[in-house]
Amino acid sequence: MASMRQFLERGQSLWLDYVDRSLLTRGGLERLVDEGLRGVTSNPTIFHQAMTSGSDYDDVILDLIQADHEVSPETLYEWLAVQDIQMAADILQPVYAKTAGSDGFVSLEVSPHLAHDASGTIEQARHLWKAVHRDNLMIKVPGTEAGLEAIEALIAEGINVNVTLLFSVARYEAVFRAFIRGLEQNDRPRDVASVASFFVSRIDGAIDPRLDEIATREAQSLRSQAAIANARLAYQAFERLRAERAFAAQARRGARVQRPLWASTSTKDPSLSDVYYVEALLGPDTVNTVPPKTLDALVEHASDHPHLVDGVETVQTTLDRLAGLGIDIETVAADLEADGVAKFAASHEALLADLARKTTEVTERYAV
């Protein structure tokens, strides 16, 4: 059994990968913050689930319809999302103040349709930053090739960035270097914060079925090993990059390090512990963002032993063994990045379609 505060004592902040109106208005988020939660993340899939089920948003939707009978689903979505993010940011503000801007963040994502459009990402990030108008906001930017340019520009401008959809260690290293380039252009680097969201369980979700097809003893011994090995390799890269001269120069100017954030750490394989990835990746100077069910499991029965640095000598061996079976982790990561962008784009489109239907329902119910 481990509390959120025990994880914090080991150097890891726990963020909640979920937000909805009831959590914000009925005291749920305040209680979690009191128990040690240090942040909140969101994405189009989360907002789709929150905004289009139940009636928590109906009153706000009604107000917006009455103000503008022609309000578009996109405008409606942005208004609702900005309100939620502002409320979450205000609840987390005491954490942000207490940690002098090191924690207490809430993340809001640019449109996934801009994942390969650097200038469009930068423009929308600026717009959302101004719309939310909270110092403890992080703008989520996909870690695509185009995202690297956007990350550098936004960090240079002092906009906090949560780099998302990272699967590849090579891309993670490129993101860290883009972060440094942004710091170099920023007159006040101490005032900007960033995390790099490295996705975990989806790696095993892609590789384990291929191992099952190979069906050798060697293949079976590698099941559910790739994701943790890949994440630990990324952490080794983090430790190396933060020690290099380029970041050290920025640290002397007061810059904070861009922490690795472990994403997709809920367990999908029922044969594994529901805290399998959470326990394996506990370690210093990291963040783990978890959905409510995984957070509950963590508090109930997770160990707070820092396992992140365990088995570092075997990490590359695991990936080499996979390569020997014809499974290249960088190719898998590239496929997962493309798939992740496509899935978030599909969630965004489904959200807009369902908001359009919900607008019609509210209009008919109240005869607006």
Pair 254, 187: CB distance under 8 Å? no
Pair 190, 168: CB distance under 8 Å? no
Strand partners, 164: 142
- Residues 6 or more apart whose CB falls under 8 angstroms from that of 11 comprise 283, 284, 285, 286, 306
Q: Which residues are catalytic?
A: 140
CA quadruple 273, 277, 283, 284: dihedral sign:
negative
Pair 195, 39: CB distance under 8 Å? no
Pair 263, 289: CB distance under 8 Å? yes
Pair 282, 305: CB distance under 8 Å? yes
Residue closest to 208 by CA, chosen among 301, 270, 145: 270
Q: What is the DSSP letter of 165?
A: E
Amino acid making up residue 222:
L
